Amino acid sequence: MTLDQQLAFCKKCTNRKMDFQQGILCNLTDRKPDFTDECPNFNLDEHVKEVVSEEAIAEENHKIIANISDKHLDKFRGEQNFQMALFSGILVGLIGALLWGMITVSTGYQIGYMAIAIGAGVGFSMRYFGKGVDQIFGITGAIIAVLSCALGNLLSIVGFAAEYGDLSYFDALAQIDYSVLFEIMGESFSFMDVIFYGIAAYEGYKFAFRAFTQEEINEIAESSK
């Protein structure tokens, strides 16, 4: 079994961990996988299973939209609601940014995976409420996801400033020098932030489009014969 095949198992295991210098390691051994046929400590991460499934659904949705007839496209456009998608995306993005700030300040660490959660949350909310098939839904989802991540970073810095100055959060918001705040954000921005922001934008875009039911897929297939 090659290393890539071993890592494919590790990516779905709850015992995995990410080392930014070495990549995916086993959390039990702190080493790269070295098993031959199967790992005795493998434990399926159900969350990863769901994400893979949602990725497949999103990919299928994009294929349907790309190949759908104008007749069906017009029908689905009549059902899409950009205003609701925009409102829900912004709301979820704000909630995600607040959670990002709170978790970062309470733990003392910036958790980059929050960006991934925000991107997925924004995309799914826009999908559910917007039922969009036009590109504007995906583009908007990507923009909201990235701005929400940036806001989460900003709120984290304000939270640390409030703790340092023994101020309430709202007092810190009112008194902080925002020119310095954005400068601090720029200085603390790293290559890993670029990666996580990119993933958030990708998910905000990809998951923002309508999810077709099996009945709708069958109807489209029948009309294409």
* Chain segment 24-66, per-residue pLDDT in tens: 888 888 888 888 778 888 888 776 655 556 666 777 777 777 7
Listed in sequence order, the residues at least 6 apart from 2 whose beta carbon sits closer than 8 Å to its beta carbon are: none
Helix (H) or strand (E) holding 17: strand 16-19
Q: Answer yes or no: do 15 and 55 share one domain.
A: no
User: What average pLDDT does this structure show over 118-142?
Assistant: 95
* Chain segment 144-166, per-residue pLDDT in tens: 999 999 898 888 887 777 777 77
Q: Answer yes or no: do 27 and 64 share one domain.
A: no
* Chain segment 191-212, per-residue pLDDT in tens: 777 888 899 999 999 999 998 8
How many structural domains are present in the chain? 2
Q: Answer yes or no: do 29 and 60 share one domain.
A: no
Domain finish residue from 28, 44, 60: 44
- pTM assigned to the model: 0.68
The residue segments making up the domain with residue 9 are 1-44
Q: Is the dihedral of CA 45, 196, 177, 90 positive or negative?
A: negative
Q: Answer yes or no: do 38 and 129 share one domain.
A: no
CB 41 within 8 A of CB 28: yes
Residue 76 Cα distances to 9, 64, 69, 152, 224, angstroms: 39, 12, 11, 34, 16
Helix (H, G, I), strand (E, B), or coil: what is residue 209?
strand
